[in-house]
Structure 1
Amino acid sequence: MGKVLIGIDAGTTVLKSVAFSLDGEAICHSSAENAVERPEPGWAEQSMTTTWKKTAQTISEVVDQLDDEDEILALGVTGQGDGCWLVDENGDPVRPAILWSDSRAGKIVQRWQDDGVSERVYDICGGTQFPGSSLVILNWLRENESENYENAATVFYCKDWLKYKLTDELTTDPSDASLPYVDVESGEYSDEVLEIVEMPEIKELRPRLSSGTDVVGTVTQSAAVETGLPAETPVVSGFIDVAASAFGSGAALPGEGSSVVGTTSLNQTILDEPPAGDERTGIALTLGVEGGLWTKFMASMTGTPNLDWAIKEIMDKSEFNLIEEEVEEIPVGSDGIIYHPFLSSAGERAPFVNPNARAEFIGLNQEHTQAHLVRAVYEGISLAMRDCYSHLPYDADEIYLSGGGANSNFWCQMFADCLNATIIVPNGSEFGAKGAALLAGVGVDEFDDLQTAVKDTTSVAKAFEPNPEKVRQYRRWYDVYTDAYEALFDIWDERVEALEDLRYMAKEGAHHPSKKSVTGKDTVG
């Protein structure tokens, strides 16, 4: 008979269930896509009912793959953070969930920033308010969907909704609730935050706060029917996916870092105390996790889509190995080219917030080749990661790396040189689900504590040590990288204004061959 822990990772677009042995090996898994609905421009919503049904389906498929002799000890859940998942007094969804990526409440964020509300909330919860924050969305609902707001009995997060469907228990944990409900120092709910935003009534909507390894309930009979899980299987409170992924990949000790280089670049450090007086630039969040540990993270928009774009549009090749053979011969600094990887149409959010930020190459001359451009893209993403870590507390000297970027030895070595840190690529995958499973193992006393669980189940696939000479070179090149984009802040804004003017003139010019420009000066049609 094998002992099994099941971890669920409810991402924004993909739901996963994975069964792990007690040594951290994935035994079997199942996944399902979960659509994001966009009923209005800038809106991002999901059906809570569909999210549960599809999650239950993946759990059932995992259970079916297990041997009859396997014993499911416990289940852990992690998932996308922030957003607003509301249920009424009967436990039914009030409306579709509003996700972390939703931007409808942007004007409320601006108002709170102008009034000093955001800064006061930051002092308590250690996180930057943004449109996808739960409290900001609730404010929007109060102003725009008063009936739904009044019908809400509980506000929690994606993983908590799934736990509720499994156990009939309404709970959350400090990592998810850190923004914006929990006092980062005490780890308990803060009533002061609600007073600051003039929404004291939210106090009645907050569910029970339970540590990530606490068993919050057991699988109900009805959930057992839907999932195939044995009734009475313990379910733990869990972490937000950011923290679960860090622990699942191997980062567990203060000072260790964790990065996921994928669609976004997510970077964090493990802390043994909440940071005090830290710099407030981009969207940075402090999460209280477990056993006196915190994690501070930044998730920039500067991920692998930059490289996908460069390989397709610049080199028109599909073989990464061939491309890297060419770019590896080019020295640090790409012979003078700087690339800012702000390719996302949403701009940048860490370590600075600017929706108008855009990518650019700087320093081109006629001697540069396609390979130079692509090398600069590799370096730009690496420098953006360094930029995030330079705004996080503690200098991480070991960083556990996962995501698509971890598949390239060339790039891993560049990360090591650029960050002056040992880059560790752990064995395995599905680190979010693994982190959730480890929390479940701690909750049922299969591991002494979370740090022991992480270290006992993590093995290193490969590691990359920084090259001192290249560390020195990248330190100098990073200064130019940051000075260059800071000099472009006003230009980015002006570019947007000018583009709007051009589109206006083009539209008007199509009907009026000769007319006044938007500046009022005579123009030739």
Structure 2
Amino acid sequence: MQSRTRIILGVDAGTTSVKTVAFDLDGRIASVSRSSVRVQRAEDGRAEADMNHIWDAAASTIAAVVDDIGDAEIVAIGVTGQGDGAWLVDADGRPVGPAALWLDGRAHERLDDWLDDGRAAAVHQATGSPLFSGALPILVDELMAADPTLRERVTTQLNCKDWLRFKLTGRRATDPSEASRTYLDTATGAYAEELFPALGQEHVREYLPEVLDPQQIAGRLEPRVAAALGLPEGLPVVVGVVDTAAAGIGLGVLDDGRGYAILGTTSLVGINHASRADVRSESSIVLATGRGTQVLESMAPMTGTPNLDWVRATLGLADEDWVVVEKQAVAVAPGSGGVIYLPYGAPSGERAPFFAPDASASWLGMSVTTTPGQLLRSVYEGLAFSLRESTDALGLEGPLLVCGGGSDSDLLCTILADVLARDIVRQDQPEVGARGVAMLAMAAVGLADDLHDASRRLTPSTTTFSPDAARTALYDDAYALFLATRDALRPHWGGLRRLRESAEQHPAPESSAH
């Protein structure tokens, strides 16, 4: 009798979609299901999501995958998801309101006060990461100032993947990577108890869940949930990690000194260190990995793929497939005819490796002979220059593993290899975040000797893009110009931002010609 195929489910709940991926024990993807979720925005800066809707989306994708794989034996579930924000539940396990997401900007003015009075510095000293308006310590103050009844109604803060795992198992818990973005002392791995009185938030300490090993079994699938999803009762559900850390695991970046990049809506460049003492920058984000004293130091520049979407639309190519669009950029010689693009197109400016909320995008070096293809290619090159600045700041060496939607582009990977003067390694199968938590689950249930063994078993084949010495030399000169012109413009970004805001408030005048 032929044995049933054994399957691990990886659930990945991002900002705009939730997916469930079924992996067999050789790392092949057996099934994928996705469901969109909506970010609710308002003029006051709020960015929220319905927590029950996110659970419904996760449940529907799990059920769809279970149905698709037939009689395969599902042996464990791993969960990951977006980080930061405030995901608050009451004593009965119900959301007290919508989740305030990492994108939430309501606490922007409050952040200025915390920067002035030292509270932001206290958070930075404890966690190792600079505070921003979408982080729990400042968001919880903002929310409770707007609704004082929250203080009594809230019992637990559960980040996105913690909320989903709670719905699966009934256990309230988190992991070191998520806790690093709240109140965890990333040097010791425990909550920084001195931080709560320093912030006047002693009551918040009661909301924080226990911190568990990421590859520990957090709980078992509850009977009523199992029945609804078509899964066996008592199925183990593993603790997991936040999505950025899960991507590193999925890429096989486990050891100290190894790094990777996520090329997505925003970018991320990260490197593992033996301890927090090895962190190189005051502006980087520091996450405890749960693997001893190891931390992940990362920079998350805003210079992501929306720049490419914008230039495609601006050049009138929005209806063209990306394969067709990229052919125009591939046909252009490296250096884009002398055009340099500063990729600071995010409305919120830049956050790494420097902080400049007024940063704006620019094309430089154009003339009346500049072609659309040169403009297009220059955007790819500008994204690569931005990533080089972060990799240099973090001291990354050797091959760089990449993932995210932007890594699907052979052109972007080729340019990155030339600009960074190193091999760029891309997995031949997607879903690295879900794969990362599947690896954690595989180790947790004893189907692998340890996480390294699980990584070897589940990591798919890769494609390597190697640098060309001549192109690298050209890009070295272009990169120097990129930095010099960018820094020359920086003092004027504030004025340009004010001019743009003023222009947006005035309608275009009607022609006065007669």
Give me the TM-score of the superposition, normalised by structure 1.
Answer: 0.91
Structure 1 residue 466: Cα displacement: 2.1
Q: What is the aligned-residue RMSD (CA, Å)?
A: 2.3
Of 207, 221, 242, 1:205 maps to: 207
Gaps of 5+ in 1: 511-525
1:258-311 deviation per Cα after TM superposition (whole angstroms, max 9, x unaligned): 222222222212223225463224xx3111113233212222221222222223
Query: How many angstroms apart in 2 are the aligned matches of 1:59 and 1:396?
Result: 39
1:318-357 superposed matches below 5 A: 318=320, 320-321=322-323, 323-328=325-330, 330-357=332-359
Higher deviation after alignment, 326-335 or 413-422: 326-335
Change in Cα spacing, 1:206 to 1:329, as seen in structure 2 (3 Å) is same
Question: 2:318 aligned with 1:312, yes or no?
Answer: no
| Contact 2:217–2:237, Cα closer than 8 Å, also in 1 | yes
Structure 1 residue 405: Cα displacement: 2.4
1:325-474 superposed matches below 5 A: 325-328=327-330, 330-392=332-394, 394-474=395-475
Of 207, 216, 228, 2:230 maps to: 228
Query: What amino acid does structure 1 have at the position aligned with 2:288?
Result: G
Match of 1:517 in 2: none
Query: What amino acid does structure 2 have at the position aligned with 1:105?
Result: A
Higher deviation after alignment, 113-122 or 48-57: 113-122
Higher deviation after alignment, 464-473 or 299-308: 464-473
Change in Cα spacing, 1:89 to 1:319, as seen in structure 2 (3 Å) is closer
Number of residue pairs matched by the alignment? 506
1:348-372 deviation per Cα after TM superposition (whole angstroms, max 9, x unaligned): 2222232321111111123322222
Match of 1:108 in 2: 110
Query: What amino acid does structure 1 have at the position aligned with 2:95?
Result: P
Query: How many angstroms apart in 1 are the aligned matches of 2:172 and 2:27?
Result: 29
Query: How many angstroms apart in 2 are the aligned matches of 1:23 and 1:371?
Result: 42
1:54-104 deviation per Cα after TM superposition (whole angstroms, max 9, x unaligned): 211111111112232x22211110001001111112211111111010100
Match of 1:36 in 2: 39
1:110-154 deviation per Cα after TM superposition (whole angstroms, max 9, x unaligned): 112122322232222111211110111111123221111321111
Query: How many angstroms apart in 2 are the aligned matches of 1:450 and 1:410?
Result: 33
Query: What amino acid does structure 1 have at the position aligned with 2:477?
Result: R
1:160-239 superposed matches below 5 A: 160-239=162-241
1:146-165 superposed matches below 5 A: 146-165=148-167
Structure 1 residue 390: Cα displacement: 2.3
Structure 1 residue 481: Cα displacement: 1.4
Question: 2:10 aligned with 1:45, yes or no?
Answer: no
| Contact 1:167–1:217, Cα closer than 8 Å, also in 2 | yes
Of 19, 28, 31, 2:22 maps to: 19
1:271-286 superposed matches below 5 A: 271-276=273-278, 278-281=280-283, 284-286=284-286
1:427-479 deviation per Cα after TM superposition (whole angstroms, max 9, x unaligned): 21111111111111111111122222123322333101222333333233223
Query: How many angstroms apart in 1 are the aligned matches of 2:489 and 2:236?
Result: 53
Query: How many angstroms apart in 2 are the aligned matches of 1:40 and 1:315?
Result: 30
Higher deviation after alignment, 203-212 or 246-255: 246-255
Q: Secondary structure at the match of 1:300?
A: coil
| Contact 1:191–1:200, Cα closer than 8 Å, also in 2 | no
> After TM superposition, where is structure 1 displaced by more than 6 Å over at least 4 residues in a row?
none
Query: What amino acid does structure 2 have at the position aligned with 1:290?
Result: G
Query: What amino acid does structure 2 have at the position aligned with 1:169?
Result: R
Match of 1:291 in 2: 291
Match of 1:124 in 2: 126
Query: How many angstroms apart in 1 are the aligned matches of 2:18 and 2:411?
Result: 31
Query: How many angstroms apart in 1 are the aligned matches of 2:266 and 2:229?
Result: 32
Match of 2:67 in 1: 64
Higher deviation after alignment, 475-484 or 185-194: 475-484
Q: Secondary structure at the match of 1:396?
A: coil
Q: Secondary structure at the match of 1:18?
A: strand
Query: How many angstroms apart in 2 are the aligned matches of 1:253 and 1:468?
Result: 29
Query: What amino acid does structure 1 have at the position aligned with 2:427?
Result: P
Change in Cα spacing, 1:66 to 1:195, as seen in structure 2 (3 Å) is same
Query: How many angstroms apart in 1 are the aligned matches of 2:460 and 2:76?
Result: 23
Change in Cα spacing, 1:242 to 1:500, as seen in structure 2 (3 Å) is closer
Structure 1 residue 330: Cα displacement: 4.2
Structure 1 residue 182: Cα displacement: 0.9
Of 7, 12, 35, 1:4 maps to: 7
Structure 1 residue 421: Cα displacement: 2.2
Match of 1:515 in 2: none
Query: How many angstroms apart in 2 are the aligned matches of 1:116 and 1:398?
Result: 40
Gaps of 5+ in 2: none
Percent identity reads 35
Of 239, 242, 245, 2:244 maps to: 242
Change in Cα spacing, 1:150 to 1:489, as seen in structure 2 (3 Å) is farther
Match of 1:513 in 2: none
Of 62, 75, 78, 1:76 maps to: 78
Query: How many angstroms apart in 2 are the aligned matches of 1:223 and 1:503?
Result: 50
